[in-house]
């Protein structure tokens, strides 16, 4: 399977793969962070929006929400979920918008889909250019130095008479600016199992390296990766929420 096959050929399984994600809690937390640090505007864009569940919640919060992604099958599903939103097929490293935005989000560690530091820098520049004065960029990230290569999270769900088991885990070799997100799907129907394996190359940074890239463009606040409460990052966990206000 090619490196993008899971998000094209198997895109209809994406929502099942993410069935254990609390999109409402994530969206509510980021809305609260935007209320605390933002300019009170309601123009929102979700980078790497996938099938649009976060966009749906921001629309329901009263935002003028939009999304972009590079995978057309995902966007087709997003348009069905959020017919009142605008979606575009764009690369987040070089996207363009028609009017300044008040909030840009990038959930589910998707900021790492930039394959290298150069592309990540281009993405941050595009975000900065797209934000209005006082606009906020909010995303989550993983520190490459704290990745546990042996950790692989699995969950199962039943759908249309089949049992699905999904797995995901980070892998970092210990050197360089590339890490991988390893994914798996097993589908069992009437006792027969099909399996898919996938691996996505992603940019790898420590939080210190990421902050070094962010600070010329943004005022940066870092919080623990906890969508139930807003707590400053204690400096030890390998996952964090970044809230970046345009300078």
Q: Span 189-195, mean pLDDT?
A: 94
Q: At what angle do helices 53-60 and 23-37 cross, to 10 degrees?
A: 50
How much is the average pLDDT of 5-34? 85
| Residue-level pLDDT at 12 | 76
Q: What pLDDT score was predicted for residue 236?
A: 96
Helix (H, G, I), strand (E, B) or coil at 37: helix
Percent of the chain with pLDDT over 90: 91
Q: How confident is the model over 61-82, as a mean pLDDT?
A: 97
Beta strand 178-189 pairing with 192-203: antiparallel
Per residue in 40-71, pLDDT tens? 999 999 999 999 999 999 999 999 999 999 99
- Across residues 197-215, what is the average pLDDT? 96
Domain ranges of the chain: 13-144+204-246, 145-202
d(CA 54, CA 25): 10
Residue 11: pLDDT over 90? no
pLDDT on residue 29: 98
pLDDT at 2: 37
Of residues 138 and 194, which shows the higher confidence score?
138
Q: Does domain 145-202 have CATH number 1.10.10.410?
A: no
User: Buried (b) or exposed (e) across 44-67, using 16+ Cβ within 10 A?
Assistant: bbbbbbbbbbbbbbbbeeebbbbb
Query: What pLDDT, on a 0 to 100 scale, did the predictor assign at position 3?
Result: 39
Query: Which tens digits make up the pLDDT trace of 141-191?
Result: 999 999 999 999 999 999 999 999 999 999 999 999 999 999 999 999 999
List pLDDT tens digits, range 88-137. 999 999 999 999 999 999 999 999 999 999 999 999 999 999 999 999 99
Q: Does residue 8 surpass a pLDDT of 60?
A: no
Euclidean distance between CA atoms 74 and 69, whole angstroms: 8
Mean pLDDT over 29-34 rounds to 98
Mean pLDDT score of the chain: 94
Q: What number does CATH give the domain 13-144+204-246?
A: 3.40.50.150
């Amino acid at each position: 399977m090619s490196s993008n096959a899971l998000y094209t050929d198997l895109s209809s399984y994406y929502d099942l793969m993410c069935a254990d994600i609390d999109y409402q809690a994530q969206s509510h937390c980021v809305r609260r962070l935007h209320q605390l640090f933002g300019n009170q505007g309601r123009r929102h864009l979700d980078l790497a929006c996938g099938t649009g569940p976060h966009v749906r919640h921001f629309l329901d919060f009263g935002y003028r929400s939009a999304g972009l992604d590079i995978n057309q099958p995902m966007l087709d599903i997003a348009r069905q979920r959020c017919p009142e939103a605008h979606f575009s097929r764009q690369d987040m490293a070089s996207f363009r918008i028609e009017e300044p935005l008040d909030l840009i989000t990038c959930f589910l560690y998707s900021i790492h889909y930039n394959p290298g530091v150069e592309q990540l820098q281009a993405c941050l520049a595009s975000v900065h250019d797209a934000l209005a004065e006082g606009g906020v960029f909010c995303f989550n990230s993983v520190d490459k130095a704290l990745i546990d290569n042996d950790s692989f999270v699995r969950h199962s769900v039943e759908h249309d008479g089949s049992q699905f088991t999904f797995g995901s885990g980070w892998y970092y070799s210990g050197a360089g600016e590339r890490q991988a997100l390893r994914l798996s799907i097993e589908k069992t129907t009437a006792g027969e199992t099909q399996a898919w394996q996938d691996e996505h190359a992603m940019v790898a940074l420590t939080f210190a390296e990421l902050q070094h890239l962010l600070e010329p463009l943004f005022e940066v606040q870092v919080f623990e990766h906890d969508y139930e409460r807003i707590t400053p990052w204690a400096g030890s966990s390998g996952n964090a929420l970044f809230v970046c206000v345009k300078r």
